[in-house]
Chains A and B, each alone.
Chain A
Amino acid sequence: DAGVIQSPRHEVTEMGQEVTLRCKPISGHDYLFWYRQTMMRGLELLIYFNNNVPIDDSGMPEDRFSAKMPNASFSTLKIQPSEPRDSAVYFCASSLSGGQMNTEAFFGQGTRLTVV
């Protein structure tokens, strides 16, 4: 398997524009996580899905952020409208629970978002 695939790797956009980040998890994995990494706040869990269903979105900072997982092989994180403070590296990760969510997560290489 190619691992968790994120696109794009880099995104530069103007304030107010809509941004969509994409993630393809490892085939067969039943958990998918979205994280945001900044120097100030470290690694923050935004939302996670189990079997395509959002389980906990309490980390989503504002209503401007939304995430979907229409099927087991694809997820999106959308920011609309984007703001400069959204600039960060966004990571997607997936894991295979085997019935318990205590197995390792596999991370994508991240999307570096810059909002100007």
Chain B
Amino acid sequence: GNSVTQMEGPVTLSEEAFLTINCTYTATGYPSLFWYVQYPGEGLQLLLKATKADDKGSNKGFEATYRKETTSFHLEKGSVQVSDSAVYFCALSDLYDMRFGAGTRLTVKP
């Protein structure tokens, strides 16, 4: 079956540091891949997505590239801000299923 594995947190960075959160997936078909973000007390919001191999999703300075050869979709940001502190979820969706990773908590300190 489909599954998503993302790096365990928590991750603590200083403002303006470089961020990478690793995500790998297992899927039988050709899924779309997503990163969602959850701020305290809220539901998940879509951050970015990619629907086919080699696509790059980007939003708010975050980027992730759909790598079929390594079954990965790592999230990156060149310079994080305190306001980026949240929980980040990697997810995949295909015709039959939508699965999320366990989530990675990011804390950015001034």
Which chain A residues have a beta carbon within 8 Å of chain B's beta carbons? Answer: 4, 33, 35, 42-43, 45, 48, 55-56, 91, 93, 95, 100-110
Q: A43-B103, A93-B44, A102-B95 are in contact. List 14 more A-B contacts (CB 8 A).
A: A4-B43, A48-B98, A55-B96, A100-B95, A101-B94, A101-B95, A101-B96, A102-B51, A103-B32, A104-B49, A105-B98, A109-B42, A110-B42, A110-B43
Which 6 residue pairs are nearest across A and B when measured between Cβ atoms? A107-B43, A102-B32, A42-B102, A107-B44, A43-B100, A104-B46
User: Given A33-B98, A43-B103, do A101 and B93 touch, yes or no (CB 8 Å)?
Assistant: yes
Q: Is the interface of A mostly helix, strand, loop or mixed?
A: strand
**Complex interface bits, B91-108 against A, C-beta within 8 A gives 1, otherwise 0:** 001111111111100000
